[in-house]
Amino acid sequence: LSEKAVAEGHLRTLRAALDAAITGQEEAKTGLLLAWLAREHAYLEGPPGCGKTALAEAWSRATGAPSAFHSFSRETRVGELLGDVELRRTARAAGQRIAMELAPGPLLGAEVTVLDDLARAPGEALSALLELLSERRVRGRELPLGSAVATGVPPETAAVDALTPGMLDRFAIQVRMHGLLDARDWSTARRLLDEERPPVVQPAAGSLLEWQTLQRATQRLPIPGEVRERLLEVLARLRMLVTRETGPTSQGLAGRSGVVSAAEGGALLSDRSFGPLALRVMRAHAGLRGAVSVEICDLEALRYMLARRVPEALRADAEALVDGATELPELWDEAAATGSGTAPGRGGGPPQDPAASGNEPPEQLEIVSASGLPNVERPGADVLPLLRALEGRLARGRADLEEDPAGAPRRQRPMRGLEDFFDADPVEGWLYASAQLPEPPRVLRRERPGSGGAVAVLRDVSASMEGRLSSWAGDVVLGVVGLARRARMGLGYLEFNHRAECYTDAGRFFHRGYAALTRLATRARCEGRTSYEAPLGAALQAFLHVPDRSRHIILLTDGVPVVGDPEVSAARRLARQLRVKVHTVFIGLGDCPEVLDRLSLETGGLRFRARPSLRGPLRVRERGEI
């Protein structure tokens, strides 16, 4: 009993230390406690300034365990984490032996580790770190590492490549944080203002040995059969939820049709995370309650695992599903009877009429593609030929390897300055530094596939596009989003009638917020009259600010320009100057305006026309030379 009291005391102190550091953010705090009790890793994702780092640091201090802190940047190298290269010299009969060895780095001795801004690190540099996290072992040596807490900004706000669900799978706990203001949590915001005070250094809660005992005891809590049963049901339903929305997750690769990429942000229900890890986290949850056995209510712990394992569009559903699982059996069974744990008020998902879906054969559900996307395979939405042709064009810019500090070493180049020294061949570097080689050492040239330039989609939303044409145009936009995503192109999206409306991300027209654009594309409203001048002008202006790589505009329209310069001479000139390829897609029965031909031919773009038929598919043809 006294042991239990001690444990409760420690947990309370730890919680208090987190409370003292940050107001609100209860979910993240619970997540950290769960991670620590389960000896698992946690990933806190949230916008800048919501308290991620402060919380992680408070946690690492309060555990009282030996800790390490590393802040990531685009230039982070494996050596910084695992240790520097040492040259060891030993005398030998015939001369001297100089061997390269790795010195133990700061992360290797830590029990708790804070990995700040992990999402900023170049993805490729992380694999060594992730290996360390999951194996808790480096080069055959066991590490004391218990829990690591990483923080990161959401993929949309980061200027760098997003961490993939596969990489994040090592973090059992994943919590999405929101700023208090962003979440409109006015009462907590008020509390934050009231609690304004100098930071207090909290004492460590418990000794490392006590914690380890508690962690071990927690991980031996029994899990009765009914809890396992319920867990399996939750997993089955989670799987149904993500499969229905994103297609099969395991081998779904580029999507069935080749158009929609693997799912926005992807879903990952791996055996590791929802087998052993989920059980560990549930045991920790029971330990947090001071219980002697895991119960149904501990399934709530799954909530803290969802953030990046389920695409954002489905998160509300998934959370509702988990919440439902902790309910009384009657309520849960009732939810089961209606077929899904769908929560009301989810954003952007395809309409799922429960009655209708009940009548449909299950295969029908399978065809629905990535989150919130209309099904690209349905009749009337034959966008494939168009996308294939475009893909060929867009892909041209990306096959080349470009020099990039975050790339992989592929060849060698001469050293340019001292900052290169870390990438130098160590032996040559040493010889150079000890003045035995006149030439500077060779350094590794790091390269990665080109980021593919930028593509702007200009979508006509004038009144005549209302209805079927608009939904078709939406499919095209979604397809282009998928292409851009695969080619890692900056993507700009603009809707126009007589005016042009750009959708920017943090003030930038070209960005990689593919998920946000996916949502936008499905809900265009059509009104007004058509102008070409306004949209082309706006998009071309934006190209002035992006690197001179491959630049594309895709113009989707059904009408002749009735507002502005019908010949768009200024825009054509600028497009040629900037070497922007303008691909035009004319949708409609009438004659294609000549100006579209000129635009494409002058800039080297492709020309398409899509001809609607009364019933059956919309026919798309690439138009040849006239």
Partner 1 sequence: MHTELKRLRSLLDQRIVGHDDVKDALLLGLVCREHIYLEGPPGCAKTLMAELAARGSELAFFFYHFHRDTRLSELLGDVVLERRALPDGSGERIGQQIEPGGILTAEVCVLDDLSRAPGEALNILLRILNERRFGSEPIPLLTAIATGNPLRDDYYNEPLDPANLDRFAIQLRVSGLLQSGDAQAARDLVDRFAELPELAEQVSEPVMDRAAFGELHRALLEVELPGPVKDGLLEILRVLIEERGVNEENGLLTDRTFLVKALKLVRGRALLRGRMSAALEDLQVLEWMMTFRVPEQLRPEIPELIRRVAGV
Please say which residue, 162 or 610, places its beta carbon nearer to partner 1.
162
Beta carbon of residue 570, minimum distance to partner 1 (angstroms, whole number):
37
Specify the amino acid at residue 388: R
Beta carbon of residue 119, minimum distance to partner 1 (angstroms, whole number):
14
Beta carbon of residue 261, minimum distance to partner 1 (angstroms, whole number):
5
Please say which residue, 200 or 209, places its beta carbon nearer to partner 1.
209
Residue 114 CA to residue 132 CA, distance in Å, equals: 14
Please say which residue, 425 or 597, places its beta carbon nearer to partner 1.
425
Please say which residue, 197 or 220, places its beta carbon nearer to partner 1.
220
Beta carbon of residue 579, minimum distance to partner 1 (angstroms, whole number):
25
Beta carbon of residue 289, minimum distance to partner 1 (angstroms, whole number):
18
Residue 555 CA to residue 592 CA, distance in Å, equals: 13
**Those residues with Cβ within 8 angstroms of residue 367's Cβ, 6 or more apart along the chain or in another chain:** 375, 377, 378
Beta carbon of residue 466, minimum distance to partner 1 (angstroms, whole number):
33
8 Å CB contact between 441 and 429: yes
Among residues 277, 298, 280, which one has the least CA distance to residue 220? 280
Label residue 278 left, alpha or beta by phi (over 0 means left) and psi (-120 to 50 means alpha). Answer: alpha
Identify the H or E element spanning 296.
none
Please say which residue, 77 or 396, places its beta carbon nearer to partner 1.
77
Among residues 602, 568, 560, which one has the least CA distance to residue 583? 602
Specify the amino acid at residue 455: V
Beta carbon of residue 467, minimum distance to partner 1 (angstroms, whole number):
32
Beta carbon of residue 255, minimum distance to partner 1 (angstroms, whole number):
9
Beta-carbon neighbour count of residue 406 at 10 Å? 18
Among residues 262, 280, 303, 308, which one has the least CA distance to residue 169? 308
Please say which residue, 149 or 231, places its beta carbon nearer to partner 1.
231
User: What are the start-end ranges of the E strands in 504-579?
Assistant: 551-557
Beta carbon of residue 94, minimum distance to partner 1 (angstroms, whole number):
5
Please say which residue, 15 or 485, places its beta carbon nearer to partner 1.
485
Beta carbon of residue 529, minimum distance to partner 1 (angstroms, whole number):
38
Please say which residue, 183 or 235, places its beta carbon nearer to partner 1.
235
Length of the chain as a residue count: 626
Residue 603 CA to residue 584 CA, distance in Å, equals: 11
Please say which residue, 9 or 144, places its beta carbon nearer to partner 1.
144
**Those residues with Cβ within 8 angstroms of residue 466's Cβ, 6 or more apart along the chain or in another chain:** 526
Beta carbon of residue 199, minimum distance to partner 1 (angstroms, whole number):
37
Q: Facing residues of 96 across strands?
A: 91
Beta carbon of residue 168, minimum distance to partner 1 (angstroms, whole number):
9
Please say which residue, 181 or 232, places its beta carbon nearer to partner 1.
232
Beta carbon of residue 81, minimum distance to partner 1 (angstroms, whole number):
11
Dihedrals phi, psi of 492, to nearest 5 degrees: -115, 145
Beta carbon of residue 124, minimum distance to partner 1 (angstroms, whole number):
4
Residue 71 CA to residue 53 CA, distance in Å, equals: 10
DSSP string for residues in 105-171: -GGGG-SEEEEETGGGS-GGGHHHHHHHHHH-EETTEE----EEEEEE--TTT-SSPPPPHHHHTT-
The dihedral built from the CA positions of residue 283, 287, 291 and 296, taken in this order, carries a sign that is negative
Please say which residue, 317 or 423, places its beta carbon nearer to partner 1.
423
Beta-carbon neighbour count of residue 442 at 10 Å? 18
Q: Both tokens of residue 115?
A: 């990995």
In whole angstroms, how far apart are CA 558 and each of 43, 181, 286, 451, 587? Answer: 47, 42, 60, 31, 5
Please say which residue, 220 or 615, places its beta carbon nearer to partner 1.
220
User: Dihedral through CA 245, CA 247, CA 253, CA 255, nearest 10?
Assistant: -90
Beta carbon of residue 351, minimum distance to partner 1 (angstroms, whole number):
25
Please say which residue, 254 or 463, places its beta carbon nearer to partner 1.
254
Please say which residue, 488 or 549, places its beta carbon nearer to partner 1.
488
Beta carbon of residue 53, minimum distance to partner 1 (angstroms, whole number):
25
Please say which residue, 19 or 404, places its beta carbon nearer to partner 1.
404
Dihedrals phi, psi of 345, to nearest 5 degrees: 70, 35
Specify the amino acid at residue 463: A
Helix axes 2-21, 52-62, angle to 10 degrees: 150
Q: Which long-range contacts (CB under 8 A, 24 or more apart) does 219-225 make?
A: 219/38, 219/39, 219/280, 219/283, 219/284, 220/283, 221/283, 221/286, 221/287, 221/291, 221/292, 221/293, 221/294, 222/293, 222/294, 223/279, 223/282, 223/283, 223/293, 223/294, 224/293, 224/294, 224/295
Dihedrals phi, psi of 609, to nearest 5 degrees: -135, 140
Among residues 613, 538, 203, which one has the least CA distance to residue 382? 613
Please say which residue, 225 or 507, places its beta carbon nearer to partner 1.
225
